[in-house]
Amino acid sequence: MSNTTRLVAVGDAVAIGAATYLGFVFHGEPAAWDRFALTASAFWVAWMAAAAPLGLYRADALSSPSTGFRRTWAAWVFAAPLGATVRAFLLGAPTVPVVFVVVTALVDGGATAVWRAASAWWIRRRT
């Protein structure tokens, strides 16, 4: 694994963690660290499960900012429902509200898409 790939993966985790934290703040639960860790981890694992097979850690996935942006959104189509399901299972919740999946896809997807577009821009500029 290259240093660039490691940096992108860490940035993905930070983006997902930041988006998750914003959700907790929005819902008035900024100090619920155990649930924050569980939620962020569930979505990070789901992101990795979607991103890796879709090739989002290959060099061509970040060949341009628009490519990084578009492919990231495509991966969240799979990652959001998977992450919400994993989270529900870990919390013992009987259902996964559709609105939660949609909002998570938009917020986490937006955070990682912006991060990956910026990463692609930086990588292109550096080479």
* Domain housing 85: 3-126
Q: Provide the pLDDT for residue 4.
A: 84
Report the domain count for the chain: 1
**Residue 79 pLDDT > 80, yes or no?**
yes
Find all residues with CB under 8 Å of 124, minimum gap 6, and list them: 63, 64, 65
Amino acid letter, residue 82: L
Tell me what percent of the residues of the chain surpass a pLDDT of 90.
67
